Structure formats: structure tokens, C-alpha cells
Amino acid sequence: MSNNNYLLDCEVIHKIPGRIRIKSNALKYLGSLKNEIEDQIKVLKSVKEAVISDITGTIVVKFKNDDLSEENLLSLLQNILNGYLVEIHKNEKKMKPDKYVIERKLQEESPKEIMRKIIASAVLLLMPGPKGELTGMRRLFNYKTLSTISLALPVLKNGINSIVKNKRPNADTLSSTAIASSIILGNEKTALTIMILERFAELLTVYTMKKTRGVIKDMLSVGESYVWKQNEDGTVKKVPIEEISKGDSIVVQTGEKISVDGKIIKGNALIDQSSITGEYMPVSKKTGEEVFAGTLIKSGNITVEAQKVGDDRTVSRIIKLVEDASFNKADIQSYADTFSAQLIPLNFLLAAIVYASTRNMQKALSMLVIDYSCGIRLSTATAFSASINTAAKNGILVKGSNYLEELSKSDTVIFDKTGTITEGKPKVQTLQIFGKNIKEERMLSLAAAAEETSSHPLAVAILNEMKERGLNIPKHKETVIKVSRGMETTVGKDVIRVGSRRYMEESDVELLDSVDAAKRMLNRGEIIIYVARNKNLIGIIGVSDPPRENIKKAMNRLRNQGIDDIVLLTGDLRQQAETIASKMSMDRYESELLPEDKAKDILKFQSIGSKVIMIGDGINDAPALSYANVGIALGSTKTDIAMEAADITITSDDPLLIPGVIGLAKNTMKVIKENFAMAIGVNSFALVLGATGILPAIYSSILHNSITILVVGNSLRLLKYNVNK
């Protein structure tokens, strides 16, 4: 294989008789598996020695000159590595190198704080300087110079810190040098101009970040702002949710949201947990059972002992995760940082060359006030922050900028079936009668009598059909559960059995008349429920989980965006998987998979170079969501598992937001590339003008920072992007 970009690719890079060296990226991430894999290669009779170097990602195999072919050895190595794919993938994630220079964390500053510094710098710029000629120490120790140094302190401190701790300069190192040089030359105006324009560009970035934080908090808001806290004497008091601590008791009544994760210590209630578990039927909860923040009490009153509050709740953890750019920085963002950081020494070199050739400090200073880093770094951060903001306003939580970049490069989309392509709410589609003198309604009623006490989704489908038709369940005796087969009860003198074909056959119910109807239902992807009275089949019920509205349209849009492989991975039976894959015109499918099987399939796709998006409901798909390049949880599920396993959570049930967020990601990358071109082009032109002396240092600073503001402003256009177009 010639392409060594993919994890499992193996390539022969050198060979002589009896010795061969093979390269594979996977060999770099073996960790403690190295000796084990060497031993597996040595098992071959013709192999004398096998040595892996995890530094170079190669293996040297020494062998006897007999029947061992290059192709067989490559195939063997790939098969062995494939068996350890999960461990290799984990090690690869852990060993990613740190690419970032030390930069100030802009999210730690508020827009008001930055605005105050801009105003202070502007006032200082307009104020007259000290009277008389400034010589000696008076040049540095006067109110204007000291005030300028005070305002520049965060930049100066971080610029020096980067050199000391990171052993390389950053954008603030360059700014610090330019500011310090201006002050030493007695030109505070240049220093203040640099500071004002740089801080204004930072203000736009910080404003976007703050706005994004607010939108995310609103989007993830669960529970009430105020709750009823129960005191030790039994009285209750209305207090802000922020005042609730672990162990406190809160009283929640009908119609209110529960605002903490906790345990019921008094009362019982019917609770709508659809926002947490995805269950659309309210659940009865009693003393001793757990409840979750964000769920709604439909009826009843309960007292809850708080177990998770404040920063322990999902909302706080997710907001922090989104803000923490150092862990979720896109490759292009780290490239922007690295690229611009590598150019910073060039500025110092140019300044030295210009000064050496002209002996003019002002011309040399022009080389220091113009840098590529500022515009590229700020505009890239602003673009990603604006995109995350836009996504959040549309009910899409993106955990970091790296996931937007991965979305823009993806070529494969994998869907789970139940609750993702389908609604996850089975419905009765077909009723077929076989008994004489019996109507549909009577057959359905008898089936509902057997299923009345069951919480199985298929039983719920039958009971919901009863409610929609306004039918009553006939009186019946105790229901008997036949595990993995069905349900049985007695209505009058008749034994009613409802369940699978196997259950009917074991109960000696004749099914011959139902064969053709059952085949038709199966071909439509319906699940068949048989209904028998005594030993006679009286009907069959076809239940299916209908596709989500707009799911087919979403897949068509994905193809228009360049996704060339759409795959279904499901735990459902083959027939149901085949039917839904055919209806949706998907490229292929795999059925009857366990959650860990889905994760392994995703790693196999990635090992051949596919960039994979996994779309699931965020509950049983957690392993697959975490292993995909981008995991998207679709739907109103908001469990800790869903939020933490998925990289992107779409909180509504609209599948059109999937191509919507991919379109946003592609547009984000387009804007960032535009910013790169503008920042590099204009700053390069300004460097030439500064070096020739055409552009004085103060005007070089104005031009440089103006282009920084321009590219940051270009990034802000993403705040208005229409995700639904």
C-alpha cells in the first residue's frame, strides 16, 4: 500500500534477502501490546526475529529464505493489528502531542473589563504628556509611561511567560516587544495605539464567547430558577436554585420541573421523563426511587433529597467543556497558532536586519508591530465561537471547535435505527382477522386485556391503539408473563394468548391461515404479534416504528453535501434493518449488533481512512458515539451518558439539523480560509512598506490591527448563518 495516512495501513519501506522493514502508524500506539504482537509474528516457522519500534512506527522481520512472501507478511500484520484496534485507537488519542503556545485565555476576561481598558488607553492617548524634555529616568518614571505599562501588564506578563515556560514566543511576546520598544523610545502614542486596536479585536472575540455561553446556558436550562426548600421544622421557603446544597430537601408539586438529581424521601408522582430517558409515557415514581433534573411532574407531590446540584449537574460540566478550547481545539486552529507562532521569530529577524542596515529604530519597530498571529488567532477563535453560538440558538450543542472541523471533512455517516431513523415509538400498522364472527375491535380488545400490565413497547403500541379508537379493555383475570414469548390471561371462560409465533406453536395454535399475511407484514418491516383465543388464532397485529418526519430528506441533503457513504448499524433483526435501509436508500446495513459491535465497526471504517459521523440516540449508542470522529446524539434525550458520549447533541427531533450543522461547519472552514488569505496578504504587504520606511511604525500598527478587526468581523458573519437553509 502506498498511502500510509490510515491507521492500519502497512507499507514495505526496505527489504533485502532475509530481512524486511514494514511501516504502519498503528505501531506507534501499541503501548504494552508491543511484545505480544512481536510474539505473534514470531509464531511463523520461517520468522527468526521480529522487533517493533514504536518511535518510528516500524517493524523489522528477519526470516529464512523460503516461502514467506511480502504479501502474506503484510496481510498477517494487518490482521493482527485489526484485533487490537480498540486499544490502538485509545492509545492514539492519549498520545496526541501538545501543539499549542501559551496564550491568554480570553474567556476569563469580561467584555466590560476589556472595554474599561480600551477607554482608559484612549483617554491616556488624548491626554497631554509631561511638559519639558524627558531625559534619563524621567523618560520612564512619569504618569503617562507608568499608566501605559500598567495597562499593558497582562500582555507583557504573558509574552514573557511564553518564553520562560514554553520556550517559544507567542503573539503577546511580539506585542510586548513592540510596546516596550515604543516606551523606551518615548513614543507612548504608538504603544497605546497598538493596545487600543488589539484590545478592540479581542473585545469582539470575547463578546462572541460570552454570547455563546449565554445561549448554551439557555439551551441546556433544566428545572426552575427558584425551588421550595423544606426546613428542618417542616416549613417550606422559596429560594434560588443556587442556594440548594447536597442533602437539602425540596418540595415539588404538580406541573413543576424537578431541578436537582436526587431521591424521593416522601410522596409519589407521575413523572414525564421524556427529556431525560426518551420515554414518551409518564412513569410512576414512589419513595426511595431516583428522579432527575429537567423532568416534569404530571400529577402528585414529592419531597426530594438533593444528590447532584450546581457544578455536579450536566449543564455546568457541558458549558465548561465547550469553553475549554485547549482540549477541544480544531486542527486548523492549532495550525493557525503554530503557523503564526513560527512566523514570530521572523518578525524579530526582520527587525534586526532592518535596524542593522538602516540604524533606524522606527523602521525596525514597524517589523514588530505587524504580526500574522493576532489576526489569524483571534479570527479563527471568533469564527468557531460564532458557529457554536449559531448552532446553540438552533438547539445544537457543539462541544468544541475540533468537531466542526471534523464535520466539514466527513465522508461517511452511520445511523442507528430505533429512536434515530425511527421515532422509537412503535405503532399498530396492520390488523388481520382470522376467527369467524369476530371484529377487529374485539380482537384488539382481547389482545389489550393480555397486555394491560406490560410496559413492553409492543404492548404500549397495542394499548395506545385502544385509546385512539376509544375502546375499553374487557375484564380479565391475572396476567401471566411468558418470558421472551408473550402474555396470557383469561377473559370470561376463554384463555387469551398474545405473543410470538414460537409461543403460538408451543401452545398448539394452528397458524397455517396466517402464513401469507405474516409474509406481507414482514416484507413491510412490521413486527408480528399473534392473538389466540384458546387454541384458535383470531388475528395478527403488525406493529412498526415509523421513520422520523424529514429523515429521508435529511439523507438526500447529506449526499448533496458530499457524504458518499450512508450506513445503518442496528441491534434489530435483519428483516427490519433491511426494510428500513431499503426505504431510506442507504448504501448498506448491519443488523443484530451489540453496542460494542457498533464501536468496532466504526474503528474499521476509520482504519481505511473514512471520516465517520455516528448518529444515535445517545443512550445505548454511547460507545459508538465516542469512537466516531464526530458523535451526534439526535432527539430530546438529555442524560449524562448522552451529553458526555456525544460530541454534538441535537436537542430537537428534527433530522434536517444534521445536514444543517454540517453546512455550518463547511461554511465556518470557508470563512477561516478567507481570513487566512486576508491576514497573510495584507500583513505581508505592510511588512514590505514598513521595511522600506514608507509606512511609519504607528501607521503600520493601525494597518495591522485594522486587518485584524476586519477578519474578526468577517468571522462574526457566522452569527447570522441560517442552519435551516
Concerning whether 508 is annotated as a catalytic residue, the answer is no
Burial environment of residue 172 by CB neighbours within 10 A (0 to 12, 13 to 18, 19 or more): buried
d(CA 215, CA 210): 9
How far apart, in Å, do the first and last CA atoms of the chain sit?
Answer: 42
Which residues touch 189 (CB under 8 Å, ≥6 apart)? Answer: 125, 182, 698
Identify whether the C-beta of residue 698 lies closer than 8 Å to the C-beta of residue 414. Answer: no
Name the nearest CA neighbour of 659 among 407, 422, 303.
407
- From CA 367, how far away is CA 408, in angstroms rounded? 36
What 3 state SS string does 168-206 have? Answer: CCCHHHHHHHHHHHHHHCCCHHHHHHHHHHHHHHHHHHH
Backbone region of residue 228 per phi and psi (left: phi > 0; alpha: psi in -120 to 50; beta: other values): beta
CA distance 491 to 549: 39
Pick from 38, 86, 85: which is nearest to 62 by CA? 38
Query: What type of residue sits at position 336?
Result: A
CB 435 within 8 A of CB 408: no
What SS3 state is found at 291?
A: strand
Taking alpha carbons only, the member of 20, 341, 387 closest to residue 166 is 341
22: closest CA among 75, 64, 90, 82?
A: 75
Residue whose cell numbers read 447533541: 649
CA–CA dist 231, 253 (Å, integer): 17
The secondary structure of residue 513, as a DSSP letter, is G
Pick the catalytic residue: 371, 416, 572, 647?
Answer: 416
Residues 6+ apart with CB under 8 A from 705: 193, 194, 197, 198, 200, 201, 374
> What is the DSSP annotation of 626-672?
HHSSEEEEESS---HHHHHH-SEEE-SS-TTHHHHHHHHHHHHHHHH
The catalytic residues are 416
